[in-house]
Amino acid sequence: MKKLVLVYNPVSGRAVFKSQLDEIIEKLQSRGCMVIPYRTTPENRDLLDFIKAAAPEGIIAAGGDGTVHEIVNLVMKEKLDIPVGIIGSGTSNDFATYLKLDTEEYFDRIAAGNTMKIDLGWTGEDYFINVASAGMVTSIAHEVNTRLKNVFGKMAYYVQGLKTLPQFKALDLRIKTDKEEIEEKAFLFLITNSSVVASFKNAAVQASVQDGLLDLIVIRQCNIAELMKLTAELMAGREMTDTKNVIYIQGTTFDISCDSELDSDLDGELGPKLPLHIEVVPKALEIFY
């Protein structure tokens, strides 16, 4: 019998996962898995001790991108040699969406122990599984409080974004990759591992979690009309990497600095301030797939 720790966030995704908990446990238990639930708190001080005491054969992260981010960093930094499963139940589930992990068959694959190794990004302090970003747009995520997200879901981000459009200003970014150097006035940059970012499904169509590369997207300074058109195209699922207001580069290392004080964002969580050194860690994490 496969023993799994199910780490779930009770307030993610409009706090509906609590009502789905029994169903998730039933799906895994009926497939011969022993499920040990762990309810997250803001600190999760005892999570590592809980996992060590449980001695599971895998950890299932049930929540949004932030919950997945925390579990990935715990597994990597503590060198836990166990695979991670992902059940997206938050406001934003970009990585689970990219890998299409929202199917009934995913539970079959977890029970069977099907896994694959995926790349991660590394900042020197933290890992990220999907995206590192910074700029005027990414700050919106940290201005939307939990209550607003629980009531309005993804729409809360769009509402906050429209409110702050008049305040957008370009940043002087300096970016050095393993291939080239760029100086650009830009609204933001994204370094992504998958093609799904901020619920936009084709943000970087060439992205792969197994190619040993990360994908840089820079949104150049443009007028509000052009920015809104670009956003509308993204929401419609169109590719953005070949438009005039976007710089797109694949690489293995990125050094990014800015004259302004700027916080980064890692998988939707507050990251270190710029300057940033980011590199890919190929085939770093084993996940159920």
Q: How high is the mean pLDDT of the chain?
A: 88
**Longest C-alpha distance within the chain, in Å?**
58
pLDDT score, position 110: 98
The topology under which CATH files domain 127-282 is Tumour Suppressor Smad4 (2.60.200)
Q: Does the annotation mark 57 as catalytic?
A: no
pTM equals 0.89
pLDDT score, position 11: 84
Question: Bigger pLDDT: 266 or 145?
Answer: 266
pLDDT (tens digit, 9 = 90+) per residue, 1-10?
A: 899 999 999 8
Parse the chain into domains and list their residue ranges: 2-113, 127-282
The topology under which CATH files domain 2-113 is Rossmann fold (3.40.50)
272 has a pLDDT exceeding 70:
yes
244 has a pLDDT exceeding 70:
yes
Which of 23, 269, 279, 286 is flagged as catalytic?
A: 269
105 has a pLDDT exceeding 90:
yes
